[in-house]
Structure 1
Amino acid sequence: MDIEKILQEIQEEIKPFMSQGKVADYIPALAKVDPDQFAMSVTLFDGTTHSIGCSDTKFSIQSISKVFTFTKSLNIYSKELYKRVGKEPSGNPFNSLVQLEYERGIPRNPFINAGAIVITDTLLSHYKNVNDTFEKVMDFIKAVAGDRAITHDQEVCDSEYAHGYRNLALANLMKSFGNLDNDVEDVVKTYFKHCSVTMSTKELSRAMLFLANHGTDPISNHRFITDNQAKRVNAMMLTCGHYDASGEFAFHVGLPGKSGVGGGIVAVVPKQMSIAVFSPRLNSWGNSLAGTQALELFSQKSGLSVF
């Protein structure tokens, strides 16, 4: 398979989609992002990376960070975690209050906002304070990416917190149902902080390799999580990784993946590779429009999917 050729073809074929959609302008710091950027990176098990576009450009990973925090929490709490967060697709917008009220403060899954806030709460309980919790999350991201230079964008973090009324509402609602143990503001601040981590497609595709290899990084041979835990994370990405468009993504792309409103998407091909794509304009579900199309084209041209 000629990955370079496939990527070059994708770069040409997604051009009509590049002008469609809009950036996440409800977060002021993200509204300023150049909407015409595009990047895609594929990292193989031997460490070889193939890229097109601005693959060294760092962007706000946003909800892709939920993969890292869920993995970290699952590794700490194992099955106990599912007492506080479900494992079913939501079928509703990622910040729905209605569903959370109806289900008495138990979020449907770890990848909607309420679920990720609960996951953050579990990490805060384990590591005791905001700074230590964020440091441990960052250490994990740096370890799986093999890059100690990864950081976060404080401007994005502050911008999200200043306009994060709905996320604060979600946290307060869960607190009222007894499903949040720590101070609401501490939890939400930590949540916004890990959402504001900045990475490039090269770094993200490298960081997802351990999930393509049953929890073990194929380059360093370091085991981060068990086979069983990696299976659970991948299953959650396949069924819940794109909010209420997760079925669409599974149908058209057929790979475990996770999106973020910063315009990034990651996907894994079990036992072969991991992929990251970046294009800031989003579709109506809050997922990268051109990025989703690029992954569909990659799946079609390579013949790779889990089905």
Structure 2
Amino acid sequence: MICDNFDDIYEIVSQARKYTKDGKVADYIPALGEADPNNLAVAMFDGNGTCLSAGNVEETFTLQSVSKVLSLALALLDNGAEKVFTRVGMEPTGDPFNSIAKLESLKPSKPLNPMINAGALAVTNMIAGAGTEDKLGRLLEFIHDLTGNTSITYNEKVATSEFETADLNRALCYFMRQHGGIDGGVEELMDLYTKQCAIEMDCEDLSKIGYVLANEGVDPVSQREIIPLHIARIVKTFMVTCGMYNASGEFAIRVGIPAKSGVSGGILGAVPHKLGIGIYGPALDEKGNSIAGMKLLETLSSRFDLSMF
């Protein structure tokens, strides 16, 4: 079992840390640019406790695009799959995560999937609630349920930094509103979305979310279904096909674990019926994925035969 191999995990983290020098933190969001690029951490949860953690596990980080997995699950709970997928598609894209190109060329004009920025904005727009505070509160309650940690909230400094530098996301919103893809005010949606992306936790919390997804949406302690089976499967499928930006295909071949990355350096992994994995490594590759975190996951998958394929 992987949980019996602490020395191996410690060594894998040490070896993967060498790759941080080849990456760069996401300084286009000023608050994220303050992260230490040498940080690297992993936690793995098997449903019985955090079985293993190594590296800078005391560090907290904002979810960024990892939050797209959670907002999608909540929007599906609120609206059902049929309604959600009238506004966002199910197909991967080879374009960058913040591209507007496909919105302009596709008819009808809707984002290709919920894991790119346009799709995530359309999904967040469908979360039920009376306003930003209500909707964000519901998303945080959902995360508290998944992790068992009721202290999780959002980082105000990061949220403000993102809100002030989010002109490209605003452009996506205005384009989609023009074509019926979102409702309501753009600034209200941007307020919610930037706070969603700024939700902050550590690797242990993230690994617990991964485990619930790996366990078909069922809480390991209470055996209560937090995410219905069909929604958990939809979410994991998007993680496989679209979760690592436009490196998702290569990642599926090399690693074979449903995963979602964010530009803070977080990676959420869900090894079906086995493990939840949380990784943090803020030095990114050119596609926006944690460069050392990707190497770490590849090595873990190979060493412990974690690929689902």
TM-score, normalised with respect to structure 1: 0.97
Q: How many residue pairs were aligned? A: 305
Unaligned runs of 5+ residues in structure 2 are none
Would the aligned equivalents of 1:56 and 1:202 in 2 still touch at CA under 8 Å?
A: no
The structure 2 residue matched to 1:27, chosen from 26, 29, 49, is 29
Amino acid aligned to 2:302: Q
Shift of 1:153: 0.7
Instruction: Report the counterpart of residue 38 of structure 1 in structure 2.
Output: 40
Would the aligned equivalents of 1:146 and 1:207 in 2 still touch at CA under 8 Å?
A: no
Instruction: Report the counterpart of residue 142 of structure 1 in structure 2.
Output: 144
Q: Superposition pairs for residues 248-259 of structure 1, below 5 Å? A: 248-259=250-261
Amino acid aligned to 2:194: F
Would the aligned equivalents of 2:23 and 2:283 in 1 still touch at CA under 8 Å?
A: yes
CA distance in 2, matches of 1:122, 1:3: 43
Q: Would you say 1:97 and 2:100 are equivalent positions?
A: yes
Listed one character per residue, the Cα deviations across residues 57-103 of structure 1 (whole Å, up to 9, x for unaligned) are 11111111111100101112222211000111111000101111112
CA distance in 1, matches of 2:5, 2:191: 40
Would the aligned equivalents of 1:46 and 1:218 in 2 still touch at CA under 8 Å?
A: yes
Would the aligned equivalents of 1:49 and 1:202 in 2 still touch at CA under 8 Å?
A: no
Instruction: Report the counterpart of residue 91 of structure 2 in structure 1.
Output: 88
Amino acid aligned to 1:136: R
Listed one character per residue, the Cα deviations across residues 39-70 of structure 1 (whole Å, up to 9, x for unaligned) are 10000122233100111211111111111100
SS in 2 for 1:73: helix
The structure 2 residue matched to 1:115, chosen from 108, 112, 119, is 119
Q: CA RMSD in A?
A: 1.1
Unaligned runs of 5+ residues in structure 1 are none
CA distance in 2, matches of 1:207, 1:230: 11
CA distance in 2, matches of 1:200, 1:136: 20
Instruction: Report the counterpart of residue 182 of structure 2 in structure 1.
Output: 180
Taking structure 1 as reference, are residues 121 and 221 closer, same or farther at Cα in structure 2, changes over 3 Å only? same
Q: Determine what percentage of the aligned residue pairs are the same residue.
A: 39
Instruction: Report the counterpart of residue 5 of structure 1 in structure 2.
Output: 7
SS in 2 for 1:10: helix
Would the aligned equivalents of 1:205 and 1:276 in 2 still touch at CA under 8 Å?
A: yes
Instruction: Report the counterpart of residue 249 of structure 2 in structure 1.
Output: 247
Amino acid aligned to 1:209: Y
Listed one character per residue, the Cα deviations across residues 104-139 of structure 1 (whole Å, up to 9, x for unaligned) are 43111111000110011101xx21211100010011
CA distance in 1, matches of 2:274, 2:307: 11
CA distance in 2, matches of 1:86, 1:256: 19
Would the aligned equivalents of 2:17 and 2:38 in 1 still touch at CA under 8 Å?
A: no
Would the aligned equivalents of 2:43 and 2:54 in 1 still touch at CA under 8 Å?
A: yes
Amino acid aligned to 2:121: I
The structure 1 residue matched to 2:213, chosen from 198, 211, 214, is 211
TM superposition outliers: structure 1 runs of 4+ over 4 Å: none
Would the aligned equivalents of 1:88 and 1:108 in 2 still touch at CA under 8 Å?
A: yes
Q: Indicate the larger mover: 165-174 or 210-219.
A: 210-219
CA distance in 1, matches of 2:86, 2:109: 11
Amino acid aligned to 1:88: E
